[in-house]
Amino acid sequence: MTKPPRPARINDDAVRSWLAVVRAYHQCSELMARRLSTVGVRTAEHEILANLRREPGLSQQALARRCFTAKSHVSNLIGDMESRGWVKRESDPADGRVKRLVLTPAGTHIAERAAAVQAEVVALMTDGVPRDELELVRAAMVEVSRRLESALDPTASDVEWTVNSRS
């Protein structure tokens, strides 16, 4: 009988760093959810609003790749957001089979309110942290994301979302 493989020895510093990231992620996620609820937006809706605000006219498929939720969930959310008057589908002039998603004026208004909530949370997290330390965190998380994306899908060329941008 063969013995099961021994787990790799993990550096204590790596474990502490990982736990700090996980804790901060959960705290940020909880705070965002609470604050977004005050403007009537759920976290997944905020992701959709933010993406369509940043890049109007995305297809539903492209939007699903950018959001941190399942494609079927994005489809359901788009339907809900459409019925709330936040999003509309427009035919692609180059291919009538493709529907492009755009924010309505009401959707733009709620997207701006949600963006303000996000800006407040980011400021709360980062105010007083020196710029060079923030850059180190960003660079480390970009590398971590690249490694995890590669482990999840070795054929993926790059992470689709805009973590690498400085905007």
CATH of the domain at 71: 1.10.10.10
Task: Check residue 162 and give its pLDDT.
Answer: 47
What pLDDT digit, counting tens, does each position of 8-62 carry? 677 889 999 999 999 999 999 999 999 999 999 999 999 999 999 999 999 988 9
Give the per-residue pLDDT at 159. Answer: 47
- Looking at per-residue confidence, does 121 or 66 come out higher? 121
Determine, yes or no, domain membership for 81: yes
- Overall average pLDDT of the 126-145 stretch: 96
Q: What is the 3-state secondary structure (H, E, C) of 86-98?
A: CEEEEECCCCCCC
In a domain, 167, yes or no: no
Structure tokens at 135: 């850059």
Q: Is residue 62 part of a domain?
A: yes
Question: Is 96 a domain residue?
Answer: yes
Residue 7 lies inside a defined structural domain of this protein: no
In a domain, 85, yes or no: yes
Residue 3 CA, chain-centre distance (Å), reads 41
Smallest CA-to-CA distance from 82 within 47, 117, 48, 33 is with: 48
* Residue 166 pLDDT: 41
Which amino acid type is present at position 146?
A: R
pTM of the model: 0.80
CA angle, 108 then 111 then 114, to 5°: 155
Domain range spanning residue 74? Answer: 42-124
8 inside domain: no
CA dist., res. 142 & res. 167, Å (int): 15
Residue 156: band (very low, low, confident or very high) from pLDDT cuts 50, 70, 90: low
Distances from the Cα of 99 to the Cαs of 14, 53, 56, 69, 91, in angstroms?
A: 45, 17, 12, 20, 5
d(CA 18, CA 120): 25
> Which helix or strand (DSSP H or E) is residue 58 part of?
strand 58-59
Alpha helices in 10-157 (DSSP H): 12-37, 43-54, 60-66, 71-83, 105-126, 131-152
Phi, psi of 103 (to 5 degrees): -80, 140
Give pLDDT, residue 97. Answer: 86
Supply the pLDDT for residue 69: 72
Instruction: Give how many domains the chain has, as a whole number.
Output: 1
Query: What's residue 9's pLDDT?
Result: 73
pLDDT in tens, 75-129: 999 999 999 999 999 998 888 888 899 999 999 999 999 999 999 999 999 999 9
Is residue 162 situated within a structural domain? no
pLDDT for 158 equals 52
Pair 86, 110: CB distance under 8 Å: yes
What local confidence, expressed as pLDDT, does residue 35 receive? 98
The confidence score (pLDDT) of residue 146 equals 94
